[in-house]
Structure 1
Amino acid sequence: MFGDILIKTHFEIKETIVTILTDSEYLIEIAKQELAAHRTVVENYIAQNPFFEVTLESYEPDPSTHPLIRRMIETANTFDIGPMSTVAGVIAESAVQKMKEAGATVAVIDNGGDIALYNNSAKPLVIGIYAGKSKVRNLGFSIDPSPEILGICTSSGTVGHSISFGISDAAIIFSKNVALADAAATALGNALKEKGAENIEKALSVIKVPGIDGAVLIEGNDIGIWGKVPTIVKANVAYDLITKGE
């Protein structure tokens, strides 16, 4: 999906299962170190505050804790959902930011369908769309080069193990704030309770907040699009290589 000139590797640390794509082995190691370090931050906070891990509603802000934890709480509270809804996105973004600072031209981390992407190369990258049993297949988003990190986060009521109270096959969010994209994808997925194009339009209204660039909501053969979304192109999506995590 990304081309043959980049290095791709699979990395697992406990429940965190990611695919890393970048320019060099050196940057791969930086990503692994950053992913492990920020996962430890979350684990340590949960050990002292177990409710943080299980709540599905807004969490009381904690100004005394690590900036990563504060960001998770503040971002999830935007949609009145639990802070763990942001964990994959915020950890992926932290690692991509470190890779960018280390000189990466391309840095992509797919954390179980929540993607932080930096593409400052000369050509677009294509990110495949995976919507489970939906007939929306072999399509992708063409992501133009940019000096900014982009979040492309997905939630689903029919794919994967993450909690969703909706029926969407794919609720996809685009934002330069990856944690916000992660939380918004959860909120969008939760909002679609019934089939039909009119219900898709209604669900999309819940994520129209500052910082969200665009969204795509897929259920069965129906697709809803809101805001600014990258160009959709044909793509040879290798579904067996999709990162599958929590």
Structure 2
Amino acid sequence: MHQKEVFRFKQTIVTILADKADFIEIAKAEILKSRLVIENYIGVNPFFEMTLEAYEFDETAPSLIQKMIEAGNTFGIGPMSAVAGTIAEAAVLKMKECGASFALVDNGGDIAIYNTENRPAVVGVYAGNSAVQNLGFSIEPSDEILGICTSSGTVGPSISFGKADAAIVFSKNVSLADSAATALGNALKEGGAENIEKALPAVSNIFGIDGAVLIQGENIGMAGKIPKIVKADVDYDIITKG
């Protein structure tokens, strides 16, 4: 059975799962470390936090910051679009380096998962009041970390300029998946199946993006390589949210 903890620190609220409790403590320490790097950079460069547009690449910045800049710039949006996924990835990577066989961090719907166990892990989809309910993705074992990041214009506090109930992106670059989910959500300006199909190329043709799913109302669109979709009992009360 996996160990689980909901960890809260300032604006960060994450759910951490791992095969051993020790790895959860390792993840928490890495989350705090990552937050400090980002806070210190913002302290010197406040525009980094405020901008909703591409940010000039900083060759002197810590690698964590550079990852966020690169992810946001890929879609012409601000680097903070990648903050949750970047922190989640850093924590899972540290757990992996320390020997975890299963590690997952859900940072407000932006998930990094590492699973080398002999069975798939199911990650549920939450799309608010959409007709698309009780679905999940079956994540097969792999020696690579996978990002499953979600943006919504109808659920949660994150900034979105679109109509999506859930814009979900899969990538082995979790920072990129996070920014891509924001970009995909922004691309859906109006509801309807036709508009979903028009919005998906905003991210599906980008190098590094494995696949994308866009949900709005009763409509769902997919592009690229998507994990197997399965039935899942999605309990709203256990979803990581701020």
For normalisation by structure 2, the TM-score amounts to: 0.99
- Spell out the pairing of 1:69-148 with structure 2 (5 A cutoff): 69-148=65-144
1:212 maps to 2:209: yes
Which string of whole-angstrom CA distances, capped at 9 and with x for unpartnered residues, describes residues 139-178 of structure 1? 1001000010000000000000000000000000000000
| Structure 1 Cα separation of the partners of residues 206 and 227 of structure 2 | 19
Shift of 1:8: 0.9
Shift of 1:220: 0.2
| Structure 2 Cα separation of the partners of residues 25 and 141 of structure 1 | 25
Shift of 1:204: 0.3
Shift of 1:69: 0.6
Match of 2:14 in 1: 18
1:194 maps to 2:190: yes
Task: Determine helix, strand or coil for the equivalent of 1:236.
Answer: coil
1:51 maps to 2:63: no
Which string of whole-angstrom CA distances, capped at 9 and with x for unpartnered residues, describes residues 24-57 of structure 1? 1110100000000000100011111111111000
| Structure 2 Cα separation of the partners of residues 231 and 118 of structure 1 | 17
CA RMSD of aligned residues (A): 0.6
Match of 1:203 in 2: 199
Where structure 1 has 5 or more consecutive residues not aligned to the other structure, the ranges are none
Shift of 1:237: 1.2
1:233 maps to 2:215: no
Letter of the structure 1 residue corresponding to residue 22 of structure 2: Y
Shift of 1:238: 1.2
1:149 maps to 2:123: no
Which string of whole-angstrom CA distances, capped at 9 and with x for unpartnered residues, describes residues 110-133 of structure 1? 000000000000000000000000
- Spell out the pairing of 1:172-191 with structure 2 (5 A cutoff): 172-191=168-187
| Structure 1 Cα separation of the partners of residues 114 and 23 of structure 2 | 13
Shift of 1:233: 0.5
For normalisation by structure 1, the TM-score amounts to: 0.97
Letter of the structure 2 residue corresponding to residue 150 of structure 1: L
| Structure 1 Cα separation of the partners of residues 23 and 48 of structure 2 | 31
Match of 2:60 in 1: 64
- Spell out the pairing of 1:22-37 with structure 2 (5 A cutoff): 22-37=18-33
Shift of 1:240: 1.0
Task: Determine helix, strand or coil for the equivalent of 1:61.
Answer: coil
Shift of 1:235: 0.7
The runs of at least 4 consecutive aligned structure 1 residues that moved more than 6 Å come to none
Where structure 2 has 5 or more consecutive residues not aligned to the other structure, the ranges are none
Task: Determine helix, strand or coil for the equivalent of 2:132.
Answer: coil
Letter of the structure 2 residue corresponding to residue 31 of structure 1: A
Letter of the structure 2 residue corresponding to residue 78 of structure 1: T
| Structure 2 Cα separation of the partners of residues 237 and 189 of structure 1 | 21
| Structure 2 Cα separation of the partners of residues 204 and 70 of structure 1 | 26
Identity among equivalent positions (%) equals 67
Between the two proteins, the alignment pairs up a number of residues equal to 241
Match of 1:39 in 2: 35
Letter of the structure 2 residue corresponding to residue 241 of structure 1: I
